[in-house]
Chains A and B, each alone.
Chain A
């Protein structure tokens, strides 16, 4: 089952620009996570935001969560070539063990 819907599905920007990806979900959650995946290999955890938090920062990453709209956004500032990857949001569907991924955004940073 899929929970999150990211948009856009694909995004190409110039190096140095900011990239924004959005995630919408359908059911109540305890938390929402963002992951990065390079070249179809393992996923790397980026940030976790709990349902009672509205914004969280980690380095060049900024995540917001709006539980009333069931949506989240991931902002990557000052993008670099190494940020080229697929980005997925993931939610727990308010069940302790589940981690369900959205469809993902493929981000391409142009030199």
Chain B
């Protein structure tokens, strides 16, 4: 199984809502990633977890809160987002971080209204 599963595929939320994005992989990968991607732009790294611990936070605003409950799951909790946070949010996992290939989920298309 080389699949990374993200839910939901689409999400529309108001600026006062709280929602969560979920990501799951069963490849035993130690590194899991969240990226944000705007239209016609490259994926922008947000967070990296290594062995279930946050190893990299790319100065992401606190309205984005990551969580890694176990080695297979990665969540991104969203609260008080702004319309400019509307984007495609991508999850990825990698066996050995940046030294090996990353497997990506299909993403969650988030719209903040």
Contact = CB atoms under 8 A, between A and B. Distances in A.
Interface of A: 1-2, 30-31, 33, 35, 40-45, 48, 88, 90-93, 95-104, 106
Contacts of A2: 42, 44
A48 B101 contact: yes
Contact of A42 (B40, B42, B94, B105): B105
Contacts, number: 78
Given A98-B45, A102-B42, A42 B90 contact: yes
Given A41-B107, A44-B104, A101 B98 contact: no
Given A97-B55, A97-B56, A92 B42 contact: no
Contacts of A106: 40
Interface of B: 4, 31, 33, 37, 39-45, 48, 50, 55-56, 58, 88, 90, 92, 94, 96-107
